[in-house]
Amino acid sequence: MSIGWTGLVLAALALVSCSGTTTIVGDAGVSNLAVGASVISSSPGPGSGVRTVADGDMNTGWTGPDPPYWFEIDLGRQVAIERVRVLVGRDVVAKVGVNVGVHDNPGRRPGSFDGALPGGDWLDITVDYEARFIRVTVEEADGHATWLEVEVIPG
């Protein structure tokens, strides 16, 4: 009997449900549409440039300014998106929303999170929508949140 690829992936993940979103510890081998995409932010942060959240390197990241702020990824074309994952750089308590759409300043919000985000964990939002732009909005945080990588998983 074979449990299939989906069963193996689900068996390998440690999931903790949080306000309609899921924090995931580890998920290897996913295709990331965000790598190399254009990234902008509402205001500069104190660290490296915001483009590091879409460089494919989980060891580089961007520390945002005092909230509220946002950063937005332009995929360059409209594509089917299954989910968006954001890798947290260090422990933070934050209120974060993820919006997607076909225009900049996208209005569709498939998920949000309000609570503790441990460094090294993924904030995982199921999207199941066609979009070109992904905007992560940090509405509140207990300091400067650091974001290591954004993964946009095709659907």
The verdict on residue 58 lying in a domain is: yes
The verdict on residue 6 lying in a domain is: no
- Band of the pLDDT at 29, cuts 50, 70, 90? low
Rounded to whole angstroms, how far apart are CA atoms 12 and 97? 26
pLDDT tens-place string over residues 98-155? 999 999 889 999 999 999 999 999 999 999 999 999 999 999 999 899 999 999 999 9
The verdict on residue 3 lying in a domain is: no
State the average pLDDT for the chain.
Answer: 84
The verdict on residue 7 lying in a domain is: no
Number of domains present in the structure of the chain: 1
The verdict on residue 31 lying in a domain is: yes
The verdict on residue 59 lying in a domain is: yes
The arithmetic mean of pLDDT across residues 48-67, rounded, is 93
Question: Could you tell me the two tokens for 131?
Answer: 């979009």
Q: Say whether pLDDT at 2 is over 60.
A: no
Question: Could you tell me the two tokens for 8?
Answer: 């193996």
The verdict on residue 2 lying in a domain is: no
CATH code of the domain covering residue 117:
2.60.120.260
Domain containing 114: what range?
A: 15-154
The verdict on residue 38 lying in a domain is: yes
pLDDT (0 to 100) of residue 121? 96
Burial class (CB in 10 A: 0-12, 13-18, 19+), 8: exposed
Rounded to whole angstroms, how far apart are CA atoms 126 and 84? 7
